[in-house]
Amino acid sequence: MITQKIALITGGSRGIGKDIAMNLSQKGVDILFTYRSNKSEAEATVAAIQSFGRKAVALPLDTSQPNTFPAFFEQAQVILQDKFATDRFDFLINNAGTSVTAPVTETTEAQFDEMMNIHLKGVYFFTQKALDYLRDGGRIVNISSAVSRQTFSGASAYAIMKGAIDVYTRYLALELGPRGIRANVVAPGAIFGGSAMQDSPEIRTFVAGITALGRVGLPDDIGGVVAFLCSEDAKWVNGQRIEVTGGVGL
Ligand SMILES: NC(=O)c1ccc[n+]([C@@H]2O[C@H](COP(=O)([O-])OP(=O)(O)OC[C@H]3O[C@@H](n4cnc5c(N)ncnc54)[C@H](OP(=O)(O)O)[C@@H]3O)[C@@H](O)[C@H]2O)c1
């Protein structure tokens, strides 16, 4: 018997998270995803997933607020039972996030805390709570960034938190091995088309110029890699970081 797979994706309403949701749903996975505040965009993504014949539910969540996570998972559990006829999901994709750009000398404590809460503390404790509902043998994919390996001026606060997620993922892989749960990182380069990346013709020209494949990255470049890590083809990939940049800093 084939058990229906379900993915929980944070920030699945647009950008990279939406592409992950679309790619997984096209491969037959049902989707529970979160958005922060843009409900109409989330509803459009639900409709797009449903057009592939898959189930989709969107829930609001601010991943920088760990005190809200217990209530979120109580709500998610009801939805899993009512809409998906199960009490577990199979794939956790920690994707939600924004960025700040400021040199070290100008980064404020508020900016640093914002990055820490969204990209580190939020991911750490959201995953911790999610483990009660993630099926044994499931997968965790954390969306990091190329900037955790390569340095770009102005990215320090953001990049530090992404670097911490790379480390966290290895610990998840180690400690969850007995449950058969694999944890890996996907580290995109600059991806244009979402609001997390500053966008201008000059920045696009610069990024294309440092990319071996000679163009900028798009959300559509990422979802398939995440779907691969969730597939049985990647069953022996664990605790790894896959950089998806088209070839930057080689
Ligand atoms: N774009 C890039 O160049 C790039 C490169 C490397 C890594 N990444 C990483 O990839 C992930 C997605 O980036 P993206 O460019 O696709 O972003 P995006 O297009 O701006 O979409 C962000 C998504 O996350 C949600 N979100 C934002 N802040 C949130 C918060 N505090 N709590 C919960 N949800 C929140 C948004 O919901 P609303 O629409 O409701 O606000 C939206 O669904 C991020 O972790 C980012 O750091 C991005």
> 204-211 contacts: CB < 8 A, separation 24 or more?
207/248, 210/248, 210/249, 211/245, 211/246, 211/247, 211/248
Q: Is the CB of 138 under 6 A from ligand 1?
A: no
Residues 6+ apart with CB under 8 A from 14: 35, 38, 41, 45, 194, 195
User: How far does residue 2's CA lie from ligand 1's centre (Å)?
Assistant: 32
Please tell me the residue having the least CA distance from ligand 1 atom 28. Answer: 97
Does the pTM surpass 0.75? The reply is yes
In angstroms, the first-to-last Cα distance of the chain is 44
Report helix, strand or coil for 152. Answer: coil
Put the strands of the sheet holding 134-143 in their side by side order.
56-60, 30-35, 6-9, 89-94, 134-143, 182-188, 241-244
C-alpha span between 77 and 88 (Å, rounded): 8
Please tell me the residue having the least CA distance from ligand 1 atom 7. Answer: 145
Report helix, strand or coil for 9. Answer: strand
Whether 133 is catalytic is no
User: How far does residue 60's CA lie from ligand 1's centre (Å)?
Assistant: 14
Say yes or no: domain 6-243 is CATH 2.30.110.10.
no
Q: Is the CB of 227 under 6 A from ligand 1?
A: no
> pLDDT tens, position by position, for the chain (250 residues)?
457 999 999 999 999 999 999 999 999 999 999 999 999 999 999 999 999 999 999 999 999 999 999 999 999 999 999 999 999 999 999 999 999 999 999 999 999 999 999 999 999 999 999 999 999 999 999 999 999 999 999 999 999 999 999 999 999 999 999 999 999 999 999 999 876 677 899 999 999 999 999 999 999 999 999 999 999 999 999 999 999 999 999 9
Ligand 1: nearest atom to the Cα of 12: 43
Structure tokens at 85: 């006829």
- Find the radius of gyration of the CA atoms of the chain: 17
C-alpha span between 245 and 145 (Å, rounded): 9
Please tell me the residue having the least CA distance from ligand 1 atom 23. Answer: 11
